[in-house]
Amino acid sequence: MEVGERIQSIMKKRGYTQSQLAEAAKISQSGISTIISGASSPSAVTLKAIAMALNCSVAELFGENGVSFIPVVRASVPILGNIACSPQTIPDMNPDGYADLPEGVHADFALRCNGDSMQPMFEDGDLVLIRKQPEVENGQVAAIGINGETTLKHVYKQTGSLLLLANNAKYTPIQTKPNDDIVIYGLAVGYVRMW
């Protein structure tokens, strides 16, 4: 299902017409119509406005409302530092401990979550398990470096850029630029909840 179809589906569940959504999101009705029909792709700012008007997260507009991760209980990988659930510096590559892994889960390292942008999927203090890989599929959660800062977000590929979405609706999507220095450190494959 495309973004426009998901917006239309959520509108129906909320009992919104296109004109009501346009008014609530402060977007023209023709703009809403072209997004729903798939004739245009909404910008990060427009997605945020629509999500707020529909009382949902931007990730839900992409169908990311029920991704499940494996809670971790055994084996171990090095904890390489912290990752913001908003941009911060590149993770320190010197381990400051080890995170347990369950049998059958492949991860190469763990990063400690700071912040609330990926709640409720990941909580502040969780250890997110990362499998090193340079590419991820649309909608997957990845540890990403942008111009020397790292963040944990849902990744969506667009022509010449990436759209990075938080789970928490109060955070604005991050739209990368073609000249940004982007590194995908790896895919989030699980977590260890520390409390």
Residue 51 phi, psi (nearest 5): -60, -45
Residues making up the chain, counted from first to last: 195
User: Which one of the listed residues 117, 157, 170, 177 is annotated catalytic?
Assistant: 117
User: Which one of the listed residues 153, 157, 170, 177 is annotated catalytic?
Assistant: 153
Burial of 50 (0-12, 13-18, 19+ CB in 10 A): buried
What stretch of H or E contains 161? strand 161-165
CA dihedral 105, 110, 114, 117 (to 10 degrees): -40
d(CA 125, CA 48): 26
**Is 153 labeled as catalytic in the residue annotation?**
yes
β-pairing, 182-192 vs 70-71, is parallel
Tell me the catalytic residues: 117, 153
